[in-house]
Amino acid sequence: MMIPILVQAWFDQVHDGAKESAEVLGKAMGTKITWDYQAPAQADLEQQNQLLERAIASKPDGIAIDSNDAQAALPIIKEAQNRGIPIVLYTCDAPKGSQIPYVSDNWYEMGITEGQELLKKMGGKGNVAIMGGVPTNSPHADRFRALNDLFKATQGVKIVATALDYDDVEKAHTEASRILAANPDLNGFAVADAAGPVGVALAIKEAGKVGKVKIVGLDSVPQLQELMRTGVLDLSVSTKPRTYGQLVTLSLMMQNLGVAQPQWYQVGTGYLTPDMVKNGDYQF
């Protein structure tokens, strides 16, 4: 069973990768591997934990979850393990000392990379705003912290506004529109989650500030790629969502077979540019 933070395009891409890997591994092993995908309507820990408890009760062969708050959900995750159900976390880091396998990356470093690319576009100075995601989710929190640290340490750069979108495009759009209206001298907008760049870019487009307010995207969801094709943004620092899905499938299979595995699968990141999307969506 796979449980993401919420219904959102990035998680659909992870699910696609998991299904692809399940088909390949299933054929190789002479068995059928299927994924039951259950997504909360919004980024809510209680809703997600309810889905996790239902998953445990159904006695699956494995559960992959991107927890809103892995530390808070740890007792339920441990319950699954105590019942002999393999668990793997993805994108969110495993709580220290838990020894739970997780598929992730160095999110702080990714946030620094994104921020540095934005500073290049701004000429190294100016007023910036930062859109955060789910504050208890480790990738979102680490990237948000990295962006704040970088901009605060850069002479000539001022953070004029921050907001949270809880990985929801509509919330990102609403918050970004508010910030743009309140800060006519804004020079750049940084984002810390996959929904952020879509909502922020749409707000920049509606405000008639394409090119005036610089933005560097994050990830490669289809709506972001369309915004890139239409010239609203020209760079995105991207994770590799399908690889996440492939690796969580592999991790759960290895656990079922009793094969030793790494605790941390580090996926790595890449760049998305207009040349890569000009003929259609690029698949990471």
Tens digit of pLDDT for each residue in 49-99?
999 999 999 999 999 999 999 999 999 999 999 999 999 999 999 999 999
Q: SS3 of 164, please?
A: strand
Strand pairing class (87-90; 102-104): parallel
pLDDT band per the 50, 70, 90 thresholds, residue 30: very high
Taking each continuous run of H as one helix and of E as one strand, the counts in the chain are 10, 12
Q: Which amino acid is at 143?
A: R
What phi, psi does 167 have (nearest 5°)?
60, 35
Q: SS3 of 264, please?
A: strand
Q: SS3 of 96, please?
A: coil
Question: What are the pLDDT digits (tens) for 87-138?
Answer: 999 999 999 999 999 999 999 999 999 999 999 999 999 999 999 999 999 9
CA-CA distance, 64 to 80, in Å (whole number)? 11
How much is the pLDDT for 92? 94
CA-CA distance, 269 to 238, in Å (whole number)? 6
CB 224 within 8 A of CB 273: no
CB 202 within 8 A of CB 221: no
CB 134 within 8 A of CB 89: no
Q: What is the mean pLDDT of the chain?
A: 96
Question: What are the pLDDT digits (tens) for 205-260?
Answer: 999 999 999 999 999 999 999 999 999 999 999 999 999 999 999 999 999 999 99
How much is the pLDDT for 157? 98
- What domains sit in the chain, N to C, each tagged with a CATH number? 2-105+240-268 (3.40.50.2300), 107-238 (3.40.50.2300)
CA-CA distance, 133 to 116, in Å (whole number)? 19
